[in-house]
Structure 1
Amino acid sequence: MTFVILKHLILLIFYPLYSSSLKCYECTGYVPCGSGQTHLLVNCGGKCMVYQNQYDGNVIIRRCCWSNCGGDGVSFYEGRLTYFCSGDMCNGDIADINLIEQGSGEEPETTTPSSVSTLSSTITTGKTTSMNTASSSLTCYECTGHYSKCGISQDAVLRNCRMCMVYRNIYDGNTVVRRCCTWGCGPSGSVQQYEGRQAYFCSSNLCNGIGAESILTSRIGIPFVPDW
């Protein structure tokens, strides 16, 4: 009886971490996105986020953040200015003004020093965040298939990644997305469920380039087990 009660208490403590009813947009500026399109929403266990991807023509990206999210408001996340919020659909187009207001000024006070490189700079040494703790110097592509040179150009890369990853955004015409994974990554060479999507992980520099997405196609029909 004691064991059963303890088991139920553990479930009550940990289950909400992955059962949040928060709804966030998951799409890019290449599709009508952020103006009430409920079919572009995902269940989010963290916070909603919106940013401009400087590696992809400054396109607006709306996503669910699952870990190491900033506090509500604007902060720097993985080397870019990002707006975080905790209300349903709060990362819609009404949130974009927050990036515009901060984009022309200095980094906000909530900024945490990061060792993640940006398009016009090299890696900053001696400054790490919890996100980058124990990370390697792995370099990965960080862009979408909307950018014609994604998976080819050295201008579309991030450093200090734990793993490189590639997946298709089912909310954006199955567009291929190449990203630097910094948290919750699957084992190298595996296809895992990652934040609700099927993703391929690899651990050599720029291994998520052109052709890596073929791994996803070859694994269609194989059941996947969430990694949380």
Structure 2
Amino acid sequence: MADALVGLAAHHELLYTQELQTPLQDLAEALGRESQTRRDLALLLLTRAGAEQFLALHIGRVSPGLLPQADALHWMERWGLLSAVHEQVSRLAVAFPPPEDPTVLERALAARDTHPTLRAATAFWDSPPEEAPWEREHRELQEAERRANTYDETALRAALDAVLTSGPDQVRSAWARVVSELHHTLDGSPTKWEGAWLAAVTEAPSRPSAGTQLDSLLSRAALHVLQTVPPLSAEKPKVVP
């Protein structure tokens, strides 16, 4: 198999033909199921094929199946096997971001400490790519929205106090602020109320637990609204000529 792929790399234009599309896909699926076979074949190709040949296989849809991210730690802990491989090729085996699993990350960092050339091949771990201006703007906007949507008991208490001191002209807007605070969430995820208007408080995600002091304050504020809010007028406003 290794010799056949090396020979195919010498005529890399064949890698893009319709005739080889299905066989190469079948090969990739088979290698995905057999990790040991995949690693043995990858090692043969890494050590036998020249840099240009292996890069041709990589571009031609073969190498990604041979060097998946799942095998990165395998090659890091056996980096000595790749010592004679052209660095442009050996880097492909570890060209992945740091693993998220703490145990795997610890093993990967230990391997980097052992092999200076591996540390050089994964130098991007130590200096993450700079954030583009539009990415930073988007992130900051998301963070601001998350903060604005995060439940804050102090802000809810202030809104309830404002209701209790509001007169007929301000009580509706003051109560709307209370409802808005009740629909903020602990993690700042946005909510969109689609239920009945009368249930906007009773089913709000941050409604105080029944029987608490904050729940009592909410009930007092609601009663104040009912006693204070002026009735809606059915009269149409007069148009002044």
TM-score normalised by structure 1 residue count:
0.22
Identify the structure with the greater strand proportion.
Answer: 1
Structure with the largest fraction of helix:
2
